[in-house]
Chain A
């Protein structure tokens, strides 16, 4: 029974992906009766390969996935190496919540407002020099996708920093660094050689999820990425949405290609890991202690500092735009400020905000229940003794985390057809169920380590005092893990809020959320409206992250032992 359930939850989460993939494989090989495709053929692939600029698109997706992930990971490693245990790290912990709360699209718009030829940075230069026209420079949408990668890095680095913070205590940083320091190693060398490998082993899955995400991203690529040609995922969406319905076959073939591209990115990244590991071992053997790393520490601040600065300043620019009247180049501030945009946006946004909130709460709550059930049954199956924490078996973990690794674009259309075939009409419940597929892996990701790491003797004591399994879970385990549980909930909540494609396709547009509204309005290109909606989009996750940070203290009545388990 329990054993069956062990597989039920992961299967439930992976099933939509499998169904969706079938719904893409069939048309990719020519089978889609509604469009007259009744025979299997390779035509779609032939047409796909003949698409102009396809190789460039594939290259952009590959490069985007690899560069984004490598720089984000490296940035996190350098930052922690230079600042672990310092005030800078404590500041970063506190500043993390707002950074995580900003949805990808909003962060991308913010970055565009900063770096575009008519953006804030250009204005800072142009205003004093009296330059009246923005330079004709291809900065946003550059052919190499640098702006797109920058946008992705700015969002992914805070996420990886969050998981790294969670993983740090298990790597025993204080003692290892003291030991390395006593051997004469500089701070950064000590961290990178003794602590980081332990941290990285734990955050490897999130890192790979970032690689998969970055290789198949749509919204950020649309806003910041090149258009001639665009990265593969953007082109697939274009083909899916083309008025020429026969392009559906090409889109399906493209989705399979995207699957291959993502797999290639993951493979390349795993090879890169090996290489980095070998380099580190070689470094260790040399005995070079790099005791003076003051300069390097300043440099190590750059990636995280720039990313955080870009997201924050972008948010400020968005906020300014939402209050602006006409705001021409090179004015640093709008000539008039007003509430007009907000007066028009807020009434229209109230409904979508409510939908967003309900779906996010339901899906994050359900995900938490499922994940707790999954982790508990796993923990029961392997009674963990102290010092040997349990883990999800690789097969189960693979199923649970599948939606993180398979690009959404590769299976959502197939899933949409399947859901319609079942005669399901869009409802809040259905939408929450589909969000659950994407929310649950993140909740599992956030909760698994602390869940398994909790000293099992707490529950043994509770049991010996006569308390049953349920009471022990509710009165001992969950309260002790309040912080981890609430963080997992907040991450799940934010994940649900940020879902665009699933909401659009499964909600059939009937259940607008703040994110679908924001993207629809973004099509209108009005920076004021984009600014207002981006802030609204940020609002709910920010609330969730703030509460998850503040609630444990309230709930525990300020008990010191609850601050950092």
Chain B
């Protein structure tokens, strides 16, 4: 039973392709489990979601701006504004993330902008992300070089991030996220600033790596092509294509808002 109900959403039949199945009680399935998640603001329900994303799979959440995508993203990453209240649990490979600090979640983030730290070189950005258990300067540098090579950026270690093209910056951002060995990925429209050709290439690179690493990912976007490339389930929220049954409260709120 998968439910995602943004504010203003009308009750609609399910149209999405997805891997159904809520985690069965007692089992601790691999992947990312959103267990009865509901986010409320000032007593009103913004969205509700109940779903499992299996390792190697990408769940795409679509919707226009203001539909609550960013709020869901912040909730999963651990940055939810205290003004919101959230219910339900988020399990990652059996660990309950809900009470954990962002640092302890091991959830990698990629945003619309590459957000490379401008005061570090490309290599410095990656070194910053190498897990602490990789000790020794040599080993850490080797890990960075290997990761740069993996995303096709051999020899970029000493480069100033400000001199990179958009595609290169996006790849460095991916490399930085992956080198930290996250157990899940959250992608917030990471391809939207790129032009068509670059976008396709970068998309493929990202989803290949997700599959290769066999980790669950959630992609937030408003571009159907992104969703298609993600090759996974799609949840649409907000606007005319809002899907799934709204909770009664949300439906009521929505009808009020519609007047």
Contact = CB atoms under 8 A, between A and B. Distances in A.
Consider the complex of A and B and state whether they touch directly, i.e. have CB atoms less than 8 Å apart.
yes
Interface of A: 381-383, 385, 455-458, 460-468, 475-476, 479-480, 482, 555-562, 565
A480 B131 contact: no
A464 B108 contact: yes
29 contacts: A383-B80, A455-B115, A456-B79, A457-B111, A458-B117, A460-B79, A460-B102, A460-B109, A461-B109, A462-B128, A463-B78, A463-B79, A463-B102, A464-B77, A464-B102, A464-B105, A464-B109, A464-B177, A464-B182, A467-B128, A468-B103, A476-B117, A480-B118, A556-B118, A559-B118, A559-B160, A559-B161, A560-B163, A565-B118
A552 to B, nearest CB: 9
Contacts of A480: 117-119
A544 B128 CA distance: 31
Nearest to B163: A560
B119 A482 contact: yes
Contacts of B132: 466
B199 interface: no
Interface of B, secondary structure class, is loop
B123 to A, nearest CB: 12
Given A464-B105, A466-B103, A383 B119 contact: no
- Residue of A381, A383, A465, A559 with most partner-chain B CB within 10 A: A465
A468 B77 CA distance: 14
Contact of B128 (A381, A465, A468): A465
B28 to A, nearest CB: 23
Kindly list the 9 A-B residue pairs having the minimum CB-CB distance in the complex, ordered from nearest.
A561-B118, A561-B162, A560-B162, A463-B102, A479-B119, A383-B81, A464-B109, A465-B129, A465-B180
A463 B100 CA distance: 12
A476 B125 CA distance: 10
A362 B118 CA distance: 29
Contacts of A456: 79
B106 interface: yes
Given A466-B131, A466-B180, A479-B119, A559 B162 contact: yes
B90 interface: no
A345 to B, nearest CB: 42
Contact of B160 (A381, A467, A561): A561
Contacts of A457: 109, 111, 113, 115
A475 B118 CA distance: 12
Contacts of B81: 382-383, 385
Contact of A560 (B77, B104, B131, B160): B160
Nearest to B80: A383
B153 to A, nearest CB: 17
Interface string B78-118: 11111000000000000000000111111111010101111
A475 B162 contact: no
Interface in B128-165: 128-129, 131-132, 160-163
B104 to A, nearest CB: 8
B238 to A, nearest CB: 17
B189 to A, nearest CB: 12
Contacts of A382: 81
A562 B180 contact: no
Contacts of B176: 461, 465
B119 A556 contact: yes
B65 to A, nearest CB: 11
A555 B120 CA distance: 10
A428 to B, nearest CB: 34
Contact of A562 (B70, B113, B119, B163): B119
A188 to B, nearest CB: 33
Given A385-B81, A556-B119, A463 B103 contact: yes
Interface string B232-254: 00000000000000000000000
Interface string B43-83: 00000000000000000000000000010001001111110
Contacts of A461: 109, 111, 115, 176-177
A440 to B, nearest CB: 26
Given A457-B113, A559-B121, 8 more contacts: A383-B82, A460-B109, A461-B109, A461-B176, A463-B101, A464-B108, A559-B119, A561-B160
B117 A479 contact: yes
A144 to B, nearest CB: 51
Q: In this complex, which of B77, B102, B108, B109 has the most chain A Cβ atoms within 10 angstroms of its Cβ?
A: B102
A555 to B, nearest CB: 8
Contacts of A383: 79-82
Contacts of B115: 455, 457-458, 461
B77 to A, nearest CB: 6
With a 10 A CB-CB cut-off, give which of B74, B117, B132, B176 has the most chain A CB atoms. Answer: B117
Contacts of A466: 103-104, 106, 131-132, 180
A26 to B, nearest CB: 44
A471 to B, nearest CB: 9
A565 B118 CA distance: 9
Residue among A381, A460, A557, A565 with the most chain B CB within 10 A? Answer: A460
Given A464-B108, A464-B182, A466-B106, A562 B118 contact: yes
A178 B91 CA distance: 50
A381 B81 CA distance: 9
Nearest to A462: B128
Q: Which interface residue of A462, A561, A565 has the most chain B CB atoms within 10 A?
A: A561
